Amino acid sequence: MQHFKTLSAYLDYIELPRPEHPMLSVFSVQGEGFLPCPKESSPPITNDCYSISLKKIVKGALNYGRTNYDFTNGALIFISPRQVLQWDSSVVFEQKGFSITFHEDFLKGTTLAQQIKKYNFFSYSINEALHLSPTEEKQLETIVENIKSEYQNNQDEFSKEIIISQLDTLLKYANRFYERQFLNRKEFSTNLLEKFNALIAEYFESGTLKESGLPNIEQIAKELSVSQRYLSDTLKKETGKTTTEHLHLYLIDEAKNILLQPNKSIAEVAYELGFEYPPYFSRLFKKKEGISPSEYRDKYKMN
Note the pLDDT tens digit of each residue in 123-137.
766 556 677 888 888
Cβ-contact 75, 129 below 8 angstroms: yes
**What pLDDT is recorded for position 69?**
41
Q: Residue 183: which pLDDT band, with cuts at 50, 70 and 90?
A: low
Q: Residue 12: which pLDDT band, with cuts at 50, 70 and 90?
A: very high
Contact partners, residue 221, CB within 8 Å, separation at least 6: 227, 228, 230, 231, 243
Q: Which CATH class is domain 2-184?
A: mainly beta
Domain residue ranges of the chain, discontinuous segments joined by + = 2-184, 187-300
What percent of the chain has a predicted confidence (pLDDT) above 70?
Answer: 84
Contact partners, residue 226, CB within 8 Å, separation at least 6: 65, 125, 128, 192, 234
**What pLDDT is recorded for position 303?**
43
pLDDT digits (tens, 9 = 90+) for 18-62: 898 999 999 887 666 667 777 777 888 889 999 998 875 555 444
**What pLDDT is recorded for position 52?**
92
**What pLDDT is recorded for position 34?**
65
Query: Whose CA is closest to 81, among 57, 60, 105?
Result: 105
Architecture per CATH, 187-300: Orthogonal Bundle (1.10)
pTM assigned to the model: 0.63
Q: Among 170-174, 184-188, 234-238, whose mean pLDDT is lowest?
A: 184-188
How does DSSP assign the chain, residue by residue? Answer: -EEE-SHHHHHHHTT-PPPSBTTEEEEEE-SS--PPPPPS-EEEEEESEEEEEEEEEEES--EETTEE---SS-EEEEE-TT--EEE-TTSEEEEEEEEEEEEGGGGTTSTHHHHGGG-GGGGS-GGGPEEPPHHHHHHHHHHHHHHHHHHHS---TTHHHHHHHHHHHHHHHHHHHHHHHHHHTHHHHHHHHHHHHHHHHHHHHHT-HHHH-SPPHHHHHHHTTS-HHHHHHHHHHHHS--HHHHHHHHHHHHHHHHHT-TTS-HHHHHHHTT-SSHHHHHHHHHHHHSS-HHHHHHHHS--
Cβ-contact 282, 292 below 8 angstroms: yes
Within 10 Å of residue 218's Cβ, how many Cβ atoms? 11
pLDDT digits (tens, 9 = 90+) for 51-101: 998 875 555 444 333 344 444 456 788 888 988 887 777 655 566 789 999
**What pLDDT is recorded for position 64?**
33
Work out the average pLDDT over 175-197: 73
